[in-house]
Chains A and B, each alone.
Chain A
Amino acid sequence: MSALRIGNGHGGATNGEVAAAPGFERYTFAERIVHWFVAFTFIALMLSGFALGYPRAYFLSGLFGGGQTMRFLHPWFGVGFTLGILWMLVSWSREMRMNAGDRQWVRSMKTYAGSGHSGLDVGKYNAGQKGYYWFSVIFGIVLFASGLPLWYPWLLGSGINQIARFVHHGAFLLMIGGFIIHVYMSTVMFPGTLSAMTTGRVSRAWAAWHHPAWFRVQDRRKAGATR
Chain B
Amino acid sequence: MSTELGLSIRRKSATPAGATGIRRDTTEVAKVVDIDLCIGCKACEVACKEWNDLPAEETFNFGSYQSHQDLTAATWDLMRFKEVELDDGDIAWLIRKDSCLHCEEPGCLAACPAPGAIVQYTNGIVDFNQEKCIGCQYCVTGCPFDIPRFDQKTKKVYKCTLCVDRVSAGLEPACVKACPTGAIKFGGKHEMIDYSLGKVEKLKGRGFENAMLYDPSGVGGLHMMYVVPRGDRLEDYGLPADPQVPGTFFSALGVLRKLGTISVWGGLLASAIFYLRTGRRRTPSEDEAVAEAERLGRDSAGDGVAKEVPVGATGDGGPNGEGEGMPGVAHPQPQEEER
Which residues of A are at the interface with B, using a C-beta cutoff of 8 A? 52-56, 58, 61, 67-68, 70-72, 100-101, 104-105, 108-122, 131-132, 135, 150, 153-154, 157-158, 161-162, 165-166, 169-170, 172-173, 176-178, 180-181, 184, 188-192, 203-210, 212-213, 215-216, 219
Q: A121 near B290 (CB under 8 angstroms)?
A: no
Q: A70-B134, A113-B333, A153-B141 are in contact. Are A204 and B280 (CB under 8 A)?
A: no
In the bound complex, CA of A177 to CA of B271 (Å): 11
The answer to whether B135 touches A71 (Cβ under 8 A) is yes
- Cβ of A68 and Cβ of B271 under 8 Å apart? no
Which residues of chain B are near A56, meaning CB under 8 Å? Answer: 16
Q: Are B256 and A55 in contact (CB under 8 A)?
A: no
**B264 and A176 within 8 A (CB):** yes
Bound-state Cα–Cα, A118 to B292, Å: 12
Q: How far is the CB of A212 from chain B (nearest CB, A)?
A: 3
Q: Among B28-36, B93-101, B309-317, which stretch is in contact with chain A?
A: B309-317
**B289 proximity list for chain A (CB < 8 A):** 204-206, 208-209
Q: In the complex, which of the residues A110, A121, A176, A213 has the most CB atoms of chain B within 10 Å of its own CB atom? A: A121
Given contact pairs A169-B257, A176-B264, A209-B319, A154 touches B297 in the complex (Cβ within 8 A): no
Q: For residues 85 through 130 of chain B, which have their beta carbon under 8 Å from a beta carbon of chain A?
A: 113-115
- Once the chains are docked, how many angstroms separate the CA of A208 from the CA of B290? 5
Q: How far is the CA of A61 from the CA of B259 in the complex (A)?
A: 22
- By CB atoms of chain A within 10 A, which of B16, B271, B313 has the most? B271
Tell me, in angstroms, the Cα distance from A116 to B314 when the chains sit together: 12
Checking A109, A161, A209 against B292 with a beta-carbon cut-off of 8 angstroms, the contacting residue is A209
CB-defined contacts of B280 to chain A, threshold 8 Å: 188-191
Question: Contacting B284 at CB < 8 Å: which of A158, A169, A209?
Answer: A209
A161-B162 Cα distance, complex, nearest whole Å: 28
Query: Which are the 8 A-B pairs with shortest beta-carbon distances?
Result: A116-B281, A212-B293, A121-B306, A67-B134, A114-B331, A113-B337, A158-B141, A208-B289
In the bound assembly, the distance between CA atoms of A162 and B245 in angstroms comes to 12
- Chain A residue at minimal CB-CB distance from B307: A121
Are B283 and A205 neighbours in the complex by a CB distance under 8 Å?
Answer: yes
Residue B22 at the A interface, CB < 8 A? no
28 inter-chain pairs at a CB distance below 8 angstroms, sorted by A residue, are A54-B257, A68-B133, A68-B134, A68-B155, A71-B135, A72-B155, A115-B331, A116-B325, A117-B319, A118-B311, A120-B306, A120-B309, A132-B339, A153-B140, A154-B141, A162-B141, A166-B249, A169-B253, A173-B264, A177-B263, A177-B336, A181-B267, A191-B280, A204-B286, A205-B284, A205-B285, A208-B292, A219-B290
Chain A positions within 8 Å of B51 at CB level: none
Residue of B16, B281, B283, B332 contacting most chain A CB atoms (<10 Å): B283
User: With A101-B306, A209-B284 in contact, do A117 and B311 touch (Cβ < 8 Å)?
Assistant: yes
Residue of A54, A61, A180, A209 touching B267 (CB-CB under 8 A): A180
Q: Evaluate contact between A55 and B142: CB separation under 8 angstroms.
A: no
Bound-complex Cα distance A54 to B134 (A): 15
Minimal beta-carbon separation of B325 from chain A (angstroms): 8
B21 to chain A, nearest CB (A): 18
With a CB–CB cut-off of 8 A, which chain B residues contact A71? Answer: 134-136
Contacts of A113 in B (CB 8 A): 331, 333-334, 337
The reply to whether B283 and A206 form a contact with Cβ atoms under 8 Å apart is: yes
Say yes or no: A173 contacts B278, CB within 8 Å: no
- With contacts A176-B264, A209-B283 known, what are 20 further pairs, Cβ within 8 A? A52-B113, A54-B257, A54-B261, A71-B135, A108-B308, A116-B278, A121-B299, A153-B136, A154-B137, A158-B246, A166-B253, A173-B260, A173-B264, A203-B286, A204-B290, A209-B292, A212-B292, A215-B290, A216-B294, A216-B297
Query: How distant is the Cα of A207 from the Cα of B296 in the complex, in angstroms?
Result: 13
- A192 / chain B contacts, CB cutoff of 8 Å: 283
B305 contacts the other chain (Cβ, under 8 Å)? Answer: yes
Q: Which residues of B contact A121 (CB under 8 A)?
A: 296-297, 299-300, 306-307
Closest CB-CB distance, B307 to chain A, in whole Å? 7
* B282 interface residue (CB < 8 Å to A): yes
Q: Which residue of chain A has the shortest Cβ distance to B299 in the bound complex?
A: A121
Name the B residues within 8 Å of A190 (CB-CB): 280-281, 283
Q: Is B26 an interface residue (CB 8 A)?
A: no
Is B65 at the interface (CB under 8 A from chain A)? no
Whether the Cβ atoms of A114 and B267 lie closer than 8 Å is: no
CB distance from A43 to the nearest CB of B (A): 14
